[in-house]
Amino acid sequence: MRVERLSVARSPDTPEHVRLIADIRHRDGTVEEYWFEVAEEFEPVLSTTGNPWLVCLLPLAMASGEPLELRVPVDRLLLEPAGYLMQIWKLWYPDLTVVPLEAPVYDGSVRTEGKAAAFFSGGVDSFYTALRHRPGVAETAVHLDDLLFVRGADIFIDKRDVFHHVREDLDDAASELGMRLVVVATNLRDTRWGERTNWGMLSHGAALAAAALVLEARYRLVMIASSITYRVMIPWGSHPLTDPLYSTAGLRVVYDGGFMSRSGKVRALTEADVAMRHLRVCYRSEAGDNCCRCEKCYRTTAMLAAFDALHRCTTLRSEEFRLERLARLYLPSRTINGIRELESLARQLDKPALARALRRCLRRSRFLHSTLPVVRRFRGTPIVAAVAGRLEGRLLAGAFR
């Protein structure tokens, strides 16, 4: 895989925007155009280095088993730790391949405007980071200037109406927090990169860091809000071991908030009216709001209910919250510890009905974690595939537990 040509061009979709474009030649000879797009006022601070391309392409190179070659210089302090990054990913995911990296290097740092930013989607983690580092907070040494939103991450590029709705809401939230919302769009998930890298488990931290490095002449520090805690260091695409390795001599990438559990973050958000008006946790809604039905919406709703704050959150419909439905929720394994903590908290806060529903949810999820993989193994067997499919559906619907 080779980065053959870098260029900056006017966006064909939005004339007042510009794109930083790279032509990527794959081992099979195909060439893809990868791009990051920003408002034209940021053209002077667009990166002229190979830093963003090394970071975003490394997961694809390992997933494809292709050596990665860049013909533009890369910061030595980024290139050298890339070997450690690959070893971490290889340990987590043995099917990946540690690949050779080839790029000219430079020493020293890119001159920056010295600003600080954090990625912001309106979710629990990013809202917690934004609140903790907003201007005027005395308890922190870092105050944020910008909040970065990556279009093409959870909202795909072709969802224009959804994006404009979400952007308007995030703009309002950023203004109330005393910061500026900066949007970076990218087509990464519409390319081979999106097809071959696992967004959740491997590549979303790299995509965010690459978006920051696209504007590396603007920022001295960029925060990625923690999605897992230091207590439970499971493999994940954004991680306290890996995110700092995206730093350069001029731009420090920080994994922020890993000391705080998700329920602790939600409790902090209940004290901020701006969060209660703009919280957006759902990744399934077609409209860009909270569907109030998926497990992530329901987990967040349960936490707000534990703190008697559900009625104050205008973006989650309290009237649709049912303890019986919570009890039947199927939790991803990475969320089990957080719900176990919430169940303990519900008992401490004298909410026995909520605690009982959470215990039933935990029991059911643990049962499904052991049962579903067995059932799914038969989905590829022609004779029993239909029966296995129906059985999986009944298990997920709660017919047996």
Cα 142 from Cα 114, distance rounded (Å): 12
**What pLDDT shows up at residue 398?**
59
Cα 241 from Cα 238, distance rounded (Å): 9
Lowest mean pLDDT among 9-18, 255-264, 391-400: 391-400
* Beta strands 2-10 and 101-102, pairing class: unpaired
**What pLDDT shows up at residue 381?**
73
Amino acid at 376: R
Amino acid at 240: P
Neighbour count for residue 319 (Cβ, 10 Å): 8
Alpha helices in 281-384 (DSSP H): 295-306, 323-327, 336-348, 352-377
Question: Percent of the chain having pLDDT more than 70?
Answer: 95
Q: At 148, phi and psi to the nearest 5?
A: -100, 130
Q: At 285, phi and psi to the nearest 5?
A: -65, 135
Listed residue (328, 336, 317) closest to 357, CA to CA: 328
pTM, two decimal places: 0.92
User: Residue 91: exposed, middle, or buried by beta-carbon count in 10 A (0-12, 13-18, 19+)?
Assistant: exposed
Cα 114 from Cα 212, distance rounded (Å): 13
Question: Would you say 324 and 340 are in contact if contact means Cβ atoms under 8 Å apart?
Answer: no
pLDDT confidence bin for 87, thresholds 50/70/90? very high
pLDDT confidence bin for 139, thresholds 50/70/90? confident
Query: Look-up: residue for tokens 């649709």?
Result: 320
Q: At 219, phi and psi to the nearest 5?
A: -115, 140
Residue 399 confidence (pLDDT) above 60: no
Supply angle C-alpha 23, 24, 25, rounded to 5: 120
Q: Which residues pair with 151 in a beta bridge?
A: 185
Lowest mean pLDDT among 61-75, 131-145, 367-381: 367-381
Q: Which residues pair with 38 in a beta bridge?
A: 18
Tokens of 283: 């990744």
Average of per-residue pLDDT across 137-162: 94
* DSSP label at residue 70: E
Tokens of 109: 């740092």
